[in-house]
Amino acid sequence: METTKTLIIDTQSKITETYHELEMRGLSVYVIRQHQELFNALYNFAPDVIIIDSAEPEQRRQLIYTNIRSMSHAPILVLSVIDEPDIVEKVLDHGADEYLLKPVSPTLLTAHIKALARRAYFTDSLY
């Protein structure tokens, strides 16, 4: 597999140094700041993994997952500061593949991104 293409949906964060760290670790990173950019990013960038780092209300997040799934089968990793089992369960039930608590180190985030991409690639290659 080539470089892992990672689309990051980040509507508020100022942690661009973390994204730079991901690039330094060999990932191809594309960051969007508005949900209106989502379809264009999915079509033109064709990510292997999608990260959602957004403090959107639950209903809005569900719409985001639905929109992503209508165009892509890429795994979705959610980054959040919310450590509530009920919320984590809902996020995973509504389409996310993984949930990590912030702050997360670039090393750990890179490992999770690569693992998700490997699993997705392996699953796709079976069909």
Mean pLDDT of 37-51: 94
Q: How confident is the model at residue 2 (pLDDT cuts 50, 70, 90)?
A: confident
More confident residue, 70 or 47: 47
Q: What is the pLDDT of residue 127?
A: 47
Taking 90 as the threshold, does the pLDDT of residue 85 lie above it?
yes
Supply the mean pLDDT for the chain. 87
Most confidently modeled of 2-16, 53-67, 81-95, 106-120?
106-120
- Structurally, at CATH architecture level, domain 5-125 sits in 3-Layer(aba) Sandwich (3.40)
Q: What is the pLDDT of residue 35?
A: 79
Q: What is the pLDDT of residue 109?
A: 96
Domain ranges for the chain, please list them.
Answer: 5-125
Closest CA to 48 of 122, 117, 126: 117
Instruction: Identify the H or E element spanning 63.
Output: helix 58-71
Taking 70 as the threshold, does the pLDDT of residue 1 lie above it?
no
Distance of CA 86 to the CA centre of its chain: 20
Q: What is the pLDDT of residue 61?
A: 77
Taking 80 as the threshold, does the pLDDT of residue 123 lie above it?
no
More confident residue, 114 or 1: 114
Helices (H) and strands (E) in the chain, counts: 5, 5
Count other C-beta atoms under 10 Å from residue 44's C-beta: 8
